[in-house]
Structure 1
């Protein structure tokens, strides 16, 4: 299996940003997503994640960590919401994209978790 960088060189980009200089980061990201999928990856950000360390405490006040609420204003694919539930936290997420919201709903329904829309 080739690395993403090696595979990226062989995949032409023909999307809406084709005229943009390929050195711009969004072009590289789009190319990497295409390369990842061509190499057999089903999504550029797998769900559930392969490895998540979880949250590290940043407060020295010894306050209870559970229950707590995790707020994710850019929920995307819902990985943060999923991880919050696995750590027994309540979670609320928002995303401007209806497509991503539907993705979160579908993925969370597949998991064993109390999920409300």
Structure 2
């Protein structure tokens, strides 16, 4: 499987680190927990891979697909955004249905979806439709 490259805005070593006061929260622990539970209810072939950007450090995680332990191992208060990678149109529609039901702020990408935990002050984020 080929995973998508980094997008503009992804962390670059040596770049300015984000300050939490520059952002406002658009997802709480309940939303992240509901996402985990909903993804675990999907068949394994419909579960997306994910990677996350840390708001405090700017670090971008490696792609992962283990939703039971890895997704929730360190909470979510640090997560600026998460990208969910899908491989098929069928998988995309199942993941989109989950994100719509939970009402996640985010956007569709060529690789799948980017969902937000925090958004920069002065910027708006729409919901996944």
Same topology, TM > 0.5: no
More helix per residue: 1
In the superposition, the TM-score normalised over structure 1's length comes to 0.30
In the superposition, the TM-score normalised over structure 2's length comes to 0.28
Q: Which has the larger radius of gyration?
A: 1
